[in-house]
Amino acid sequence: MDIRLLDRNDAPAYQALRLQALRESPDAFSASHEDEATRSIDEVAARIVPAADGSMCMFGIFESGALTGFVALVHPQRKKLRHGAELAGMYVAPALRRRGLGAVLLHAVIAHARSIDGVRQLGLGVNATNEAAKALYRSAGFVRWGVQPRALQIGNVFHDEEHLLLRLDVTG
């Protein structure tokens, strides 16, 4: 198993896995398959290459050389928001779940957030019914601070989103 930041050469593999994620777990992402299916490889590359200003990077996890999961870290650059970062778009391919890959991705993002000067907290949003992801985040110390009712509409169904936060500047 390898974990590293994705770069432009990973764009085809990322796009294939991302579209699989949007098809297989539509409730887990705010983007839809329809939103992303027509993106060119150049557009995808621009979205995964670490941003020059540090505002975004994407970790990928590989098994036997194949991309099997990913997660993004978003770091707003505006002065009043720079103390926070957001985790987004976490996914592990179904065949490789419950083997610790999600936890490896999560801990890589947390370590990266800790390494950014001034970042004191890491936030994320998760579908309120996503028990697997909530258990994973809880195991890393994230706590729920609120719920946005009807954050997503998928077809005729509304989904609430829980907002979780991990404070990086407190221990224990």
Ligand X SMILES: CC(C)(COP(=O)(O)OP(=O)(O)OC[C@H]1O[C@@H](n2cnc3c(N)ncnc32)[C@H](O)[C@@H]1OP(=O)(O)O)[C@@H](O)C(=O)NCCC(=O)NCCS
Contact 85, 74 (CB under 8 A): yes
Question: What is the closest distance, in whole angstroms, from the C-beta atom of residue 147 to ligand X in the complex?
Answer: 14
| CB nearer ligand X, residue 4 or residue 99 | 99
Question: Residue 12 has which token pair?
Answer: 């085809």
Give the residues lining the site for ligand X (CB under 6 A): 25, 28, 90-92, 97-103, 126, 130-133, 135-136, 139
We find the least distance from the C-beta atom of residue 78 to ligand X, in angstroms, to be 24
Smallest gap from residue 20 Cβ to ligand X (A) = 10
Q: Which residue lies nearest ligand X, judged by its C-beta?
A: 102
User: Minimum CB separation from ligand X for residue 79, in Å?
Assistant: 28
3-state secondary structure of 166: strand
CB distance 23 to 6 below 8 Å: no
Q: Least distance in Å: CB of 156 to ligand X?
A: 21
> 8 or 150: whose CB is closer to ligand X?
150
CA distance 113 to 135: 20
Nearer to ligand X, 74 or 82 (CB): 74
- Closer residue to ligand X in complex, CB, 79/98: 98
- 83/158 Cα distance (integer angstroms): 31
Nearer to ligand X, 82 or 144 (CB): 144
| DSSP string for residues in 45-107 | HHHHSPPTTSSEEEEEEEETTEEEEEEEEE---SGGGTTEEEEEEEEE-GGGTTSSHHHHHHH
